[in-house]
Chain A
């Protein structure tokens, strides 16, 4: 298994590792995957209630190098975007950016799911109505 330079870079220097306060109103938490599949991703966002801009993001991942890189990249990408903008990030963007091989596409799908789950959690907490983009099947 050879990894692209970008995957190796994220693996060696993961961005935004950590934990936000799950109980805070402005924090949304997405926990996706399962230990059985060898991948569990937790992605958290901190959203400015005025602007709906994601001001901070943190992740922790149990999984292979590609899973770690996908979630690390996801935190980088969501930061500074509004919630609605973040929902447009798709797994294919992640695949392209990290040059993931076909057997690792599920890692990118998981990262996309983690973003959506975190946003979904934040919306539920703040009674924000789901938009079509958020519920679109992928």
Chain B
């Protein structure tokens, strides 16, 4: 049934009191702006509209003051100093600036970079580009639980290695890498350590000192701040990291990133970080409980489910689960008043499922059956109940339709079937 182009699925799941549809549970993709953040930003669109680089009048000074306050707020959240924070347009730019800027700056020292197979495309595509420019890149595999093996990392390091870039927590499977140990290994060898910490900052404790991080990317819109603003932490001492600028212009941001500062966005990013600093601990506990409740409810009601990624080193709000013998996209179609995402990529030209899930060694069929739940600050238990009930209902319906489920129930080993692959 179509309703202004929005497909409304037919379902018997009752909508509980206080739940508004569609429910947003895809907080790894983006988050809504916290109203407190919006409030902090508002004056900087209108009355305090100065250019932070204007040195000659109060309009400029006011804007600059706001920017410096934001630097402090961000630094505090990650255990850095304000001078180590560079503003960017978002984490994609932060990752580009870190990788290209370091590769260019340290080219004489070596041409080898180490990263991992499950990185975000903002890192992987940047590495591909650097390969074209003559850099060697090692893409570490991950183990079945999504963690890299530190022995692999040690083996990959050589005397030409200038940079290791390993994400803090994965955006699909929520797995948290052993960042402090990775940083320690890098420092022992004099290698710069960058981490894409977009999913981790503001959700779990990130401390650049304890974690031995030299360069770190973060983003506003993943932490209930605005879109189009991010930051790059660049260590100034022990070691002092230098970055070759990728955007030239007025020499803003200590020469590392030119461009008029997006003052309202920066104020929003700072405010978002301050809220996280205050509320992160309680919120992580709340989200972890909700997540475990959701997982338990689904696992109790349904057979043949599989949780993807190591659950002991995991973001509190993430659950990545495969509902085996049900294709992910068809499941999404049945729960279209719930915003979640699937590792199935039936719409892509290649029909390839998620490369992150495939890196875990999951069979394509299990990857095609995966759903990523991203719980966030504004999700409630009532919403989780509704989503779980709905998923259970739709999975059961689709399994009635699934020849694979029928065969498995009859005891047929699917791996023995010779599929006439298409």
User: Do residues B330 and A11 form an inter-chain contact, with CB atoms below 8 A?
Assistant: yes
* A-B contact number at CB 8 A: 113
Tell me the complex Cα distance, A63–B346, Å.
Answer: 9
Residues of A within 8 A of B7 (CB): 2-3, 8
Chain B interface SS verdict (over half): loop
Name A21-71 residues within 8 Å CB distance of B.
Answer: 31-42, 60-65, 67-68
Tell me the complex Cα distance, A19–B5, Å.
Answer: 34
Answer whether A65 and B10 are a contact pair too, CB < 8 Å, given A31-B403, A38-B346, A60-B401: no
Q: Does B13 contact A (CB under 8 A)?
A: no
User: What size tier do the contact residues of chain B reach?
Assistant: 35 or more
User: Do residues B346 and A64 form an inter-chain contact, with CB atoms below 8 A?
Assistant: yes
User: Do residues A35 and B329 form an inter-chain contact, with CB atoms below 8 A?
Assistant: no
Residues of A within 8 A of B403 (CB): 31, 40-42, 60-62
Q: Does B373 contact A (CB under 8 A)?
A: no
- The smallest C-beta distance from A65 to any residue of chain B, in angstroms, reads 4
Answer whether A35 and B420 are a contact pair too, CB < 8 Å, given A11-B330, A62-B325: no
Q: Which single member of B330, B353, B402 contacts A65 (CB below 8 Å)?
A: B330
User: Do residues B401 and A38 form an inter-chain contact, with CB atoms below 8 A?
Assistant: no
Residues of B within 8 A of A14 (CB): 401
**Between-chain CB contacts (< 8 Å), 16 pairs:** A5-B1, A11-B333, A34-B420, A35-B368, A37-B364, A37-B421, A38-B344, A40-B419, A62-B401, A62-B404, A63-B327, A63-B346, A64-B327, A64-B330, A65-B330, A68-B330
Q: Show the binding face of B for A, using Cβ within 8 Å.
A: 1-2, 5, 7, 9-10, 325-330, 333-334, 344, 346-349, 351, 353, 363-365, 368, 400-406, 414, 417, 419-422
Q: Show the binding face of A for B, using Cβ within 8 Å.
A: 1-3, 5, 8, 11-12, 14, 17, 19, 31-42, 60-65, 67-68, 103-104, 106, 109-110, 113, 117
